[in-house]
Structure 1
């Protein structure tokens, strides 16, 4: 039996804003009294103001499907810009709440929803969902984890969080490079991938000392799944530092050490970009290397293969060709399983100002439309005959992804990038995969299966646990990254691996694992 219900930001400390007056005077939007297509009646407000990140507002202004939402619901939303980056935005949320200028509704951090909600600043949405949100209510009841995340011990719901799409990064490569280097078989194992990179190095590296087969951006440790070294909660036991629900770090798995040794081989043989390993490479330098032929292989976000084809492809180099590699087999010879993001985005929540409780019915009815079949079709596919067609019971887009997404900023476009958070709503994963180029769409529909993907385990923390976790993670994550890189670059001998594990324990690695277990047990046992 679950011991508690929690609704806390994983890596945020409890806010120390002190007591807040119950409610905040909202920035009022213009109202109207027209009939609503979503249950509003004459005399009932069918508008509300909504605080969001500046870029979220820009996205909605560009999305061609959005005006249809307002038309269908009979509701006008006044967007209130709150800042251009997270630090600026959440500081503005605090200021607006304390100064009693928070709009009717808005996006806040989950910790802000929890703390300020308990102090009376936000509306308990549970009774409004019961009365005015049948589609939201059905979704909550059908998804127990979601119900656990948003509901406190008293049955109150101070904020709603959005569902995230279910996908993993792609391993992609220059197919033309592989062909010219004499690689005729698609690699299926780490060993075969290493052999392919050696052939690439021999072919392209002989004339270019700055050529490295594997290039990338941000963290270079990407192949945990192939080494059975991803953090997990298998059998309900916390193994490794799980982080935000993605791959994480399981230093104590046998495969993790083997993975580090493999990366050291890549580094020693010049098969991986040393700037990437050192952390000195940039996104722009990575793009340049993949575009100009100084790299052949990357492991990154699912839309990136299309981006490289659009930006470096046949118009610049007639031979340029990007292909996507099936996920490698693991150390046991089985298909590796990719850990995805958690199902719900628990970094942000949508709340309703307590002083705007007269708008709660309108807001819930508006959101409820996005949970309906009609609303889901609109936000995921658009309008039949304009952006999609249906044949044999299957929807398919009739607008071109690359053409639409390359539309200049500020101009209306059909866009269905539903990993962007604007309004909380469910995700149609098939539509999310399909809204892309043929290259990515076909790979996603083939590779993103129940057998190949494992959704990240959703774990929530108390405010005290979150504070401890944030403090420990800041120290441990840096120590792990720095320590592993020393082994990879040869600055530290692999014979010191056990000593390194002891240092990570002293830094708090196992304390994080224990905190994860505590939170998991409280939520699921």
Structure 2
């Protein structure tokens, strides 16, 4: 991006971004040859609580306006009234919802975040235990779990209770989709290579600041909590730790109390003082992240191959044909080292759709949620509507230009969010064929290969289940610990407190039980290994 383009007013660029994200008329077709389905009684409606995905909400602000949700209701015969919390506020909103006692029929959430965990949500009467209902009304999910016992054991509580309809990423190639992204055209202009080491990253960010006049060279998500965007090991991982829980030689560690975390804080304290990190580090959300990267306010980030590269690059090239993004490997200390950490999700990560214990429409809700695990539902959730968002070609579903070359200038990530749930979680099994087409840019395909080349699998803490007592105790401890980690990290990075304050924070975390939290995680891990 040249100097003239770089000095273009941000408001003008944001207007162009808004125009690029605008959806005009979105076609919507029906389906032929529908199989017999159990439907809700005429006029009967179920309530459905969920946060709308950011790619979808950037185009249509409510669930009822999104073609996928219209089609899902049409096919199952179930009418839904959606209850939609504000963006990025699901955790706060669901606590208020549950406390009110006025529960919707269906709730979509990452249930490991519930205070006390899923077992507590069941025993407190919020969620319905689904074992009997799955046996009666969910033949598709039941068949999948019987065929996949390793996944089956991950989605139940320790006493064997099913509590939600899970999102499953069965294929290993679906589990890494996030990593460092940098403006390659700027690197070329400055005569710099894609950075690999911390030292090279410092050189690149400094050049963006001093030679390109970039306001916030490195930006990443700072919500829902501080440093959220680098929790998977970006920059922190170069010091041999993660910020949260991980495994080291089979034992559980919590990175924010390790001495290496102080070394990371020292690095980011220096970079912040040098103006290399977004000054709004604590408040960056997905919208401001998008705006910074497409306006040239920032030149590097950690984000997704789809929502990052796939969304930003077409918009950038619409503003400047020479603009180009490139994936970078997770940073290391020494050239040639393999990154120890990187983003990698579990086949199941506790995100799923539960039914309220108070619902009077259990059969209708279960049959609707089971739809995504059947052959026809699998196609809808992953590819959308045949003849509209995909066509069958040689027995394979192929996205149409509505998705890959949208006439209303939607990025593929946004078009997909209109017609499918393939790029974010829901009650279904994700299909690797979606990714093979979704990552249509060579930079996206290169990104997955680069970001997957880590030892993250060896150090990943598995998706264990806790007892109700353990979950309650762990949640209470970690709520205070996480608050302290966030507070400590920001104060030290921003220069509000000295670097040597780190040891005092660690002692405080030990005093409020972080070592007991690690013990709980160890106990749950041992039970998981013995299943």
Shift in Å, 1:437:
5.6
* Partner Cα distance (1:94, 1:497) in 2: 36
* Partner Cα distance (2:528, 2:442) in 1: 40
Shift in Å, 1:92:
4.2
* Partner Cα distance (2:120, 2:504) in 1: 42
Alignment of 1:184-203 (within 5 A): 185-203=193-211
* Partner Cα distance (2:152, 2:408) in 1: 35
Instruction: Provide the residue aligned with 2:81 in structure 1.
Output: 80
Whether 1:465 and 2:467 are equivalent positions in the alignment is no
Shift in Å, 1:96:
5.5
Alignment of 1:26-45 (within 5 A): 37-38=35-36, 40=38
Q: CA RMSD in A?
A: 4.3
Equivalent position SS for 1:84: coil
Q: Does structure 1 conserve the Cα–Cα contact (< 8 Å) formed by 2:338 and 2:453?
A: no
Q: 1:403 aligns with which of 394, 403, 406?
A: 406
* Partner Cα distance (2:176, 2:65) in 1: 25
Deviations 1:362-407 (A, max 9, x none): 5444433311233212211134553234556664422234737866
Alignment of 1:394-473 (within 5 A): 395-399=397-401, 400-401=403-404, 403=406, 414-418=418-422, 420-421=424-425, 424-432=427-435, 434-435=437-438, 438=441, 441-443=444-446, 445-447=448-450, 449=452, 454=457, 457-473=462-478
Most deviating of 294-303 and 396-405: 396-405
Instruction: Provide the residue aligned with 1:160 in structure 2.
Output: 165
Deviations 1:99-127 (A, max 9, x none): xxx66655578569756755778765324
Shift in Å, 1:497:
5.2
Whether 1:386 and 2:388 are equivalent positions in the alignment is yes
* Partner Cα distance (1:304, 1:126) in 2: 39
Q: Does structure 1 conserve the Cα–Cα contact (< 8 Å) formed by 2:330 and 2:451?
A: no
* Partner Cα distance (1:68, 1:281) in 2: 34
Instruction: Provide the residue aligned with 1:169 in structure 2.
Output: 178
C-alpha change, 1:445 and 1:396, in structure 2 (3 Å) is: farther
Equivalent position SS for 2:167: strand
* Partner Cα distance (1:81, 1:217) in 2: 27
* Partner Cα distance (2:440, 2:517) in 1: 40
Instruction: Provide the residue aligned with 1:298 in structure 2.
Output: 301
Corresponding pairs, count: 462
Shift in Å, 1:62:
4.2
Shift in Å, 1:140:
1.8
* Partner Cα distance (1:190, 1:412) in 2: 35
Whether 1:524 and 2:529 are equivalent positions in the alignment is yes
Most deviating of 52-61 and 378-387: 52-61
Instruction: Provide the residue aligned with 2:252 in structure 1.
Output: 238
Whether 1:226 and 2:235 are equivalent positions in the alignment is no
Equivalent position SS for 2:253: coil
| Structure 1 residues without counterparts, runs of 5 or longer | 1-34, 241-248
Shift in Å, 1:491:
5.5
Deviations 1:405-432 (A, max 9, x none): 8669x999853343545x5222224415
Q: Does structure 1 conserve the Cα–Cα contact (< 8 Å) formed by 2:66 and 2:419?
A: yes
Shift in Å, 1:298:
1.3
TM-score computed with the length of structure 2 as normaliser: 0.71
Equivalent position SS for 1:327: coil
Q: Does structure 1 conserve the Cα–Cα contact (< 8 Å) formed by 2:166 and 2:353?
A: yes
Alignment of 1:229-268 (within 5 A): 229-230=241-242, 231-240=245-254, 249-252=255-258, 254=260, 256-268=261-273
Equivalent position SS for 1:378: helix
Q: Does structure 2 conserve the Cα–Cα contact (< 8 Å) formed by 1:64 and 1:412?
A: no
Shift in Å, 1:182:
1.6
* Partner Cα distance (1:132, 1:501) in 2: 50
Instruction: Provide the residue aligned with 2:21 in structure 1.
Output: none
Equivalent position SS for 1:350: strand
Equivalent position SS for 1:50: strand
Instruction: Provide the residue aligned with 1:50 in structure 2.
Output: 46
Instruction: Provide the residue aligned with 1:180 in structure 2.
Output: 189
Whether 1:327 and 2:336 are equivalent positions in the alignment is no
* Partner Cα distance (2:68, 2:287) in 1: 32
Instruction: Provide the residue aligned with 1:32 in structure 2.
Output: none
C-alpha change, 1:487 and 1:393, in structure 2 (3 Å) is: same
* Partner Cα distance (1:282, 1:363) in 2: 33
Instruction: Provide the residue aligned with 1:24 in structure 2.
Output: none
Shift in Å, 1:253:
5.8
Whether 1:340 and 2:344 are equivalent positions in the alignment is yes
Shift in Å, 1:239:
0.6
* Partner Cα distance (1:487, 1:172) in 2: 26
* Partner Cα distance (1:345, 1:405) in 2: 34
Equivalent position SS for 2:318: coil
Q: Does structure 2 conserve the Cα–Cα contact (< 8 Å) formed by 1:61 and 1:412?
A: no
Shift in Å, 1:79:
0.7
Equivalent position SS for 2:264: helix
Structure showing greater Rg: 1
C-alpha change, 1:387 and 1:334, in structure 2 (3 Å) is: same
* Partner Cα distance (1:338, 1:82) in 2: 34
* Partner Cα distance (1:509, 1:477) in 2: 10
Equivalent position SS for 1:315: helix
Alignment of 1:87-236 (within 5 A): 87-88=92-93, 91-92=96-97, 95=100, 105-107=106-108, 110=111, 114=119, 117-118=122-123, 124-144=129-149, 146-151=151-156, 155-163=160-168, 166-183=175-192, 185-204=193-212, 208=213, 211-218=215-222, 219-220=226-227, 221=230, 222-230=234-242, 231-236=245-250
Whether 1:372 and 2:374 are equivalent positions in the alignment is yes
* Partner Cα distance (2:495, 2:122) in 1: 52
Shift in Å, 1:470:
3.1
| Structure 2 residues without counterparts, runs of 5 or longer | 1-32, 53-59
